[in-house]
Amino acid sequence: MGIFDKFADLLEQTKTLSSFGQSPAGLKFEKILSPTEAMLNGKRTILLGTNNYLGMTFDEESVQCAIEALKSEGTGTTGSRVANGSYNGHKALEEDIADFYGMHTAILFSTGYQANLGAISALAGRGDYLLIDADSHASIYDACRLSDAQVIPFRHNDADNLNRKLKRLENEPGSKLIIIESIYSMLGDMVPLQDFVDVKNKHDNTYLLIDEAHSLGVLGDKGRGLCEHVGVEDDIDFITGTFSKSIGTVGGFLVSNHKEMDIVRLASRPYMFTASPPPSVVASARQTLSTVAAATDKRKQLWENATQLYTGLKNAGYELGPTISPIVAIRLQDPEKAIALWNGLLEAGIYTNLALPPATPFGWYLLRSSISAAHTSEQIALAVELCTKIGVELGLITLSNSKKANIELVSVKDETKPAALNGSSEKRPRAKAEPKSAALPKADGSAARA
């Protein structure tokens, strides 16, 4: 037995995936052209799976701030803040985050993954209980492994199931920490947040942590996320988030109104034993975060774009996630056809994510897209058209269940494809037939369900 023998099944799965065309984990973009386009295998490709919700990765001011920080403070901090001290930027960014949320304390982490790992593993200790949604992100599951608390998963988005589990713990002295996500990353479905807040408020010594990774900048009048949108910010104990999606760089945070929270730094191994974010990253995060509250037009555009893609694919006959959101996932049962659709789209110049079980709910194969405010209506229309065309060819959808009249597109001719793909994303002409209403969810987070 060798040390790599245990990976035989994984290796086989990777080979099978690659035998159908490109390897999802092995793609190499030769050049990033804009927030929505890159060169892949020599072809101009629309990026429809990069979580770049507000399209801020090339924002001129953020890039300039990063360059200045790079020049004045260097390429990296070369150590942890506990061992090597903080830079001005670390402290300033933490103050920015706390101000943005109107909360007492923020703690900066080097990635969003580490924010969950560091926050959850430190907050819930021996004798405590972690109650986590069954569909939680890997960072939450990994945090549970690092924590000494007992871990009790509850049914996905099921506040009644959580309530029963909290009732069973009523006589236990340990603290209970509930972990939920605002928008779940695979299907784009949202937590019924008010229900969870109500359950939390029924139980003593019970705290609620929500991961707003996919909703920062995306939901709420000021872009603070689902808690702002639903109007329950005062009921939330802890928020975690990331700078790697709408903020367009990397890094994560924990923010809270609990005044004792600073001490978590010294109990959180993922905070203490890793290098702090480099000055350039901190500078661009600060600059971009400062624009989020006022980015109302971008949010409106993002939701219009999400609505266009969701309704386009729905009308084509695809099975999607339950809610219109900036994550749009096509649910497929047949792995070979899922892989073929993903490859077909790549060859046609559309990059999406292929998500496979066990990372996906119910063993579905998901073709996952994430929308950006920077996508043009033409780019999304082309994506819908190509998904429809390839889906029909693969027998995933039929023309009879595809409501052709509702797909407002020009036909895909070979000469129009490069034209659409070559169009600069700097200019954003809108299609006349785009949906007018942004499909924001209702206050309980459950609306816009198909």
Partner 1 sequence: MTSAPLHNEDDGVSAIVSEIQTQLRTRVSAEIPVEPGTHITRDLGLDSLAIMDFIFDLEDSFDISIPMERIAEVQTVADLAKAISTLRKEAA
What does the binding site for partner 1 look like in residue numbers (CB under 8 A)? 134, 144, 150-155, 161, 164-165, 168-169, 357-358, 361-363
| Nearest CB to partner 1, comparing residues 79 and 357 | 357
Instruction: State the minimum distance, in angstroms, from the CB of residue 171 to partner 1.
Output: 9
CA distances, 28 to each of 15, 39, 137, 218, 336 (Å) = 17, 9, 25, 28, 22
Residues comprising the chain, all counted: 450
Sign of CA dihedral 420, 421, 422, 425: positive
| Nearest CB to partner 1, comparing residues 248 and 361 | 361
| Nearest CB to partner 1, comparing residues 40 and 162 | 162
| Nearest CB to partner 1, comparing residues 158 and 235 | 158
Per-residue tokens: 101: 């949320």
From CA 207, how far away is CA 177, in angstroms rounded?
Answer: 5
Instruction: State the minimum distance, in angstroms, from the CB of residue 392 to partner 1.
Output: 30
From CA 344, how far away is CA 394, in angstroms rounded?
Answer: 10
| Nearest CB to partner 1, comparing residues 278 and 361 | 361
How many CA atoms, within 13 angstroms, populate the side-chain half-sphere of residue 138?
Answer: 5
The order of strands in the sheet holding 176-181 is 105-109, 252-256, 238-242, 206-211, 176-181, 129-133, 150-154
Q: Can you say whether residue 85 is alpha, beta or left, with left for phi > 0 and alpha for psi between -120 and 50 degrees?
A: left
Instruction: State the minimum distance, in angstroms, from the CB of residue 155 to partner 1.
Output: 5
Q: Can you say whether residue 41 is alpha, beta or left, with left for phi > 0 and alpha for psi between -120 and 50 degrees?
A: left
72: part of which helix (H) or strand (E)?
helix 60-73
CB 270 within 8 A of CB 114: yes
Instruction: State the minimum distance, in angstroms, from the CB of residue 356 to partner 1.
Output: 11
Instruction: State the minimum distance, in angstroms, from the CB of residue 150 to partner 1.
Output: 4
| Nearest CB to partner 1, comparing residues 59 and 135 | 135
Instruction: State the minimum distance, in angstroms, from the CB of residue 174 to partner 1.
Output: 12
Per-residue tokens: 178: 């509930």
CB 348 within 8 A of CB 366: no
| Nearest CB to partner 1, comparing residues 132 and 354 | 132
Instruction: State the minimum distance, in angstroms, from the CB of residue 209 to partner 1.
Output: 17
Instruction: State the minimum distance, in angstroms, from the CB of residue 145 to partner 1.
Output: 9
3-state secondary structure of 17: helix
| Nearest CB to partner 1, comparing residues 165 and 245 | 165
